[in-house]
Amino acid sequence: YRAKQAVIVGDSKQLAPYDLYRARYENETEEEQVALEVESLLDLAKHFYSDTLLQGHYRSRSLDLIDFSNQHFYKNKLQLLPHFQDINESIPAIEYAKVDGVWEQNRNTIEAERVVELVKMLQNEQPNASVGVVTFNYPQQQLIEQLLHETVEQGEGGWKKSFFVKNIENVQGDERDIIIFSVGYAPDVRGRFRAQFGSLNARGGENRLNVAVTRARQKVYVVTSIWPDQLQVETAVHSGPKLLKSYLAYALNVSSGAYRPRPLELHKRPSSWLLKHRLQQTALQKEDIVLEELPFADLTVKKGESYEKVVLTDDELYQQAISVKESHAYIPLLLRAKGWSFERHWSREWWREK
């Protein structure tokens, strides 16, 4: 009521406010009562106002850091332009660190020790990088904090102010250059694996996972005692455990170097309608390597395994832009800012030359 207009901003795929913080009113009408049963102000506003998805993603420096969430939570609508140098280094942005941990009293000591080793290694090898540790429950967070405190007492140095150890319940809003996950779940001392996933198993648990896997700007280390196929989650009521298994499989795929970016899936049209396919045929005659490979460009020019530049046309990517300014100003500016060379081709030029 303090302004003529309001913009309500949020992400329904991340953590919603807890019921603990909801206000209750004694004299509220039945209609107001129904309205207050929604999860948040954001969800309430969706019932009455139109909504718009902000598509640009700027935190992650590489596609493999955000692609999982983009596929499973945002229907492949997020757009990320990675740095040219980063994408050509071909170093996986996710590293799968498998250990032989044991799940005991809701903790995994071997995993915690491996996390501490990684923190010390990163402090020595990348002292300028900010680091955060994310656990899947509070007892594992406490154990890692205890082990880190012991290393400080032994004179192995302290940690930067930006360093944190948190669990998936309270890491929303944070971001660091490097994130280390301690999954924790493992077989017990008898070798039995119990499918107990804490808050991930609850309704909306998948949002906690989404928050956790999108905190890193440059690199993720997944420290885990299990392989993806060890998780038997087919009978899980909610999607959190199933998505955890999918994420572990995705992380293992990226870590092994098997990840490949995919072009943006757009409306299927006959190839003869599209300029990019005509350009591709011309390039093949010249023996150039021109592919539909990256989601932010129509075509990609490669030399061996390295990217050289991208090609932009007035095909579907151009047509789905939210404004003329985006296509003609913002995209060229972003490409130059992130080190990409690019060419622009227009359909009218093609037909003039015919």
- Domain segments of the chain as ranges: 1-52, 63-255, 271-353
Instruction: Name the percent of the chain lying above pLDDT 70.
Output: 87
Spatial neighbors of 180 by CB under 8 A, at least 6 apart, are 115, 118, 119, 131, 132, 133, 134, 220, 221, 223
Where b means 16+ CB within 10 Å and e means fewer, 228-245 reads beebebeebeebbbbbbb
* Pairing label, strands 164-167, 94-98: unpaired
What CATH class has 63-255?
alpha beta
The answer to whether residue 190 scores a pLDDT higher than 60 is yes
Q: Which of 337, 258, 345 is nearest to 299 (CA)?
A: 345
Please report the DSSP string for 128-145 in residue order. TS-EEEEESSHHHHHHHH
Residue written as token pair 């999982």: 68
Return the closest-CA partner of residue 118 out of 91, 147, 89. Answer: 147
Which residue in 154, 149, 86, 153 sits closest to 119, CA to CA?
149
| pLDDT in the model for residue 6 | 84
Q: Alpha-carbon distance 348 to 314, whole Å?
A: 10
- Provide the residue type at 275 as one letter: L
* Confidence category of residue 262, pLDDT binned at 50, 70, 90: confident
Assess whether pLDDT exceeds 50 at residue 31: no
pLDDT band at 288 (very low <50, low <70, confident <90, very high): low
* Confidence tier at 268 by pLDDT (50, 70, 90): low
How far apart are alpha carbons 124 and 216 in whole angstroms? Answer: 19
Give the distance, in angstroms, between the CA of residue 300 and the centroid of all CA atoms in the same chain.
23
pLDDT above 50: residue 20: no
Residue 217 pLDDT exceeds 50? yes
> H helices of the chain, where?
30-35, 41-46, 63-72, 84-89, 109-125, 138-153, 205-213, 240-255, 275-285, 316-319, 324-325, 331-337, 347-353
pLDDT at 326 over 80: yes
Of the pLDDT bands very low, low, confident and very high (cuts 50, 70, 90), residue 29 is very low
Q: What is the pLDDT averaged over residues 205-211?
A: 91
Residue 267 has pLDDT above 70, yes or no: no
Res. 28: pLDDT tops 50: no
Higher pLDDT, 206 or 287: 206
Give the whole-angstrom CA distance, residue 152 versus residue 277. Answer: 60
Tens of pLDDT, residue by residue over 66-103, are 999 999 998 888 888 888 888 888 789 999 999 999 99
More confident call, 269 vs 116: 116
pLDDT at 337: 92
Residue 18 is predicted with a pLDDT of 57
CA distance linking residue 102 with residue 193, whole number of Å: 10
What's the pTM value of the predicted model, to 2 decimals?
A: 0.84
pLDDT, position 234:
85
Residue 263 has pLDDT above 70, yes or no: yes
pLDDT at 287: 54
Give the per-residue pLDDT at 37.
Answer: 63
Task: For the chain, give the mean pLDDT.
Answer: 84
On the question of pLDDT at 119 being above 50, the answer is yes
The pLDDT-based confidence of 266 (bands split at 50, 70, 90) is low
